[in-house]
Structure 1
Amino acid sequence: MNRQTIGELISEAVAVFIIIAFGDSVACMYVLYDPSPYVNAYWGVCIAWGLAVTIAIYVTGSVSGTHANPAVTLALALFRGFPWKKVIPYSVAQVIGGFIGAAVVYLLFAPVIDHYNQTHQLTRAMGGAAGVFFTHPGLAITPMHALLDQIVLTAFLLFGIFAITEQYNEMAPGANSGALIIGFLVATIGASMGYLEAWAINPARDFGPRLFAYFAGWGSSALPAPDNYWWIPIVGPLIGGAVGGAAYQWLIYPFLPARQRALLSQGVNPGERAAIDPSH
């Protein structure tokens, strides 16, 4: 493994670390305090998560491209030429970043977590305050419905990311503002659909903190979790990312005017190229 690859893996771990350090902290602010500073301002929670993603991109984007999400890494390998040999190392680095981010949140909020559980007569083994680290089904949501939700939500995420980062999309934001728009995309998904099961849309975002919580005393309430829920925020986003990426590549990408002009300048008929391979 060369020095550049090591740097990319560190970058991916740092990106998810930043997202979890801020995101799980705002979850603590939302859940643990009474009254919650966000009790009538849930949009603030969503914005905090979104800006955490934006900050992560600005910090690490020049090194690794800031996938910060195994679903993004997989979709980029499927449709954007990202090397398959890097998919698993990137994903492992992202989970490690999530684990360390959760550890920092625990360092900050452990006394508040314990106070919350004591006040509500809960224990970590019972799942008390577990929601500040990882996701779980919301009101009336079964695990199988949550799987479908995660597929749909992550499809929206990747569809948007592909549009925002597409070089031939003349309506995409400039390079310096793309990170902000991706952050707003994450926030919008949370604001509109987040209560379903806390909008994981990222296997590393859920599994890294879940793994930390398992070792920090939450035990079986974290892994395997009630109804063996732990795998839903992993499999759902991976499928959804592929679906969202495919939707953009098939429904939008072939018809981008800038792409068609580029093909014509190369002497290639856009219609023939799309018929052969709609992803290029």
Structure 2
Amino acid sequence: MQKQLLSECIGTFAMVFCGCGAMTINEITGDSISHVGVAITWGLIVMAMIYAYGEISGAHFNPAVTFGFAIAKKFPWKKIPSYILAQAVGAFLAAGLLWFLFPESVSLGHTYPAEGFEPYKAFILELILTFFLMVVIINVSTGSKEIGTMAAIAVGGVILLEAMFAGPMTKASMNPIRSLAPALISGNLEHLWLYLTAPFVGAFLAIKSCKLVKDEECCDNDC
């Protein structure tokens, strides 16, 4: 269990440090990385961390994903608090390090709706993005290991895709802890509620949709 938690912590740290780091550096250097570069960074770091830790912890790195696997009965409910705590530690360490390295940054890669894009619309978009992400994850998962290494390209690819087209509107978080850490450290708390709720709703709906397209027992067994 300790190795699983350490894997979740390190993997989440790497994801937030590289992903939010790309956003931070893009901010302070005048768009030198570009939106496309940021999206690619998110996809690649998630793919790399799944290859690194998928067979140890399942490479969740996201409380909504952990919750989704529990709903699908592929992950024990009793492990959820420790997994989310490990993810939180990794995310806050990464955001704190970014704040130390780049104090001139205003956002540290925090998430917020685009100007003129209503929060309720951002909530719906984040919900749909997480729904698609969880659909991919649950359909390429490997049972007891949750996310296997062969899923790395699929999961990293869908994150890159969603960050590419939805990033300009909501920053395409799909991850409550990835939004919470930079928001708290940078002090940008407005609209945080939608990033803490929409991913869980999206993951829940994704798991419930499983029975509509697969065997009725697809999410009722601890595989």
CA distance in 1, matches of 2:140, 2:36: 22
Alignment of structure 1 residues 172-183 onto 2, 5 Å: 176-183=149-156
What corresponds to 1:188 in structure 2? 161
What corresponds to 2:208 in structure 1? 246
Q: Deviations over 1:83-120 (max 9, x none)?
A: 0001122112111111001122223222x43xxxxxxx
- Indicate the percent of aligned positions where both proteins have the same amino acid: 27
**Does the aligned pair in 1 maintain the 2:180–2:196 contact within 8 Å?**
yes
The one-letter code sitting in structure 1 at the alignment partner of 2:202 is: G
Q: Deviations over 1:105-148 (max 9, x none)?
A: 223222x43xxxxxxxxxxxxxxx22x33101113222222221
Largest Rg, 1 or 2:
1
CA distance in 2, matches of 1:55, 1:202: 17
The one-letter code sitting in structure 1 at the alignment partner of 2:197 is: V
CA distance in 1, matches of 2:99, 2:150: 32
What corresponds to 2:10 in structure 1? 14
What corresponds to 1:236 in structure 2? 198
Residue 33 (structure 2) aligned to one of 25, 29, 38: 38
**Does the aligned pair in 2 maintain the 1:14–1:60 contact within 8 Å?**
no
Residue 101 (structure 2) aligned to one of 97, 108, 114: 108
What corresponds to 1:140 in structure 2? 116
The one-letter code sitting in structure 1 at the alignment partner of 2:185 is: F
Q: Does 1:23 align with 2:16?
A: no
Unaligned segments of structure 1, at least 5 residues: 114-128, 168-174, 255-273
Residue 199 (structure 1) aligned to one of 158, 165, 172: 172
Residue 85 (structure 1) aligned to one of 71, 78, 83: 78
CA distance in 2, matches of 1:92, 1:146: 26
**Does the aligned pair in 1 maintain the 2:22–2:33 contact within 8 Å?**
no
Structure 1 SS opposite 2:169: coil
> Structure with the greater relative contact order (CA < 8 A, sep ≥ 6): 1 or 2?
2
Residue 279 (structure 1) aligned to one of 209, 215, 219: 219
Q: Deviations over 1:178-210 (max 9, x none)?
A: 212211110001112122210110011111222
Structure 2 SS opposite 1:26: helix
Unaligned segments of structure 2, at least 5 residues: none
Q: Deviations over 1:60-91 (max 9, x none)?
A: 22221111001100110011421000112211
Q: Deviations over 1:240-266 (max 9, x none)?
A: 11111222x223322xxxxxxxxxxxx
State the shift of 1:236 in Å: 0.6
CA distance in 1, matches of 2:149, 2:7: 18
CA distance in 2, matches of 1:143, 1:202: 17
The one-letter code sitting in structure 1 at the alignment partner of 2:112 is: H
CA RMSD of aligned residues (A): 2.0
- After TM superposition, the score normalised by the length of structure 1 is 0.72
Aligned length: 217
Distance 1:7 1:212, change over 3 A: farther
Q: Once structures 1 and 2 are overlaid, which stretch shifts more, 156-165 or 13-22?
A: 156-165
The one-letter code sitting in structure 2 at the alignment partner of 1:197 is: T
- After TM superposition, the score normalised by the length of structure 2 is 0.89
CA distance in 2, matches of 1:71, 1:190: 17
**Does the aligned pair in 2 maintain the 1:20–1:102 contact within 8 Å?**
yes
Runs in 1 of length 4+ with deviation above 4 angstroms? none
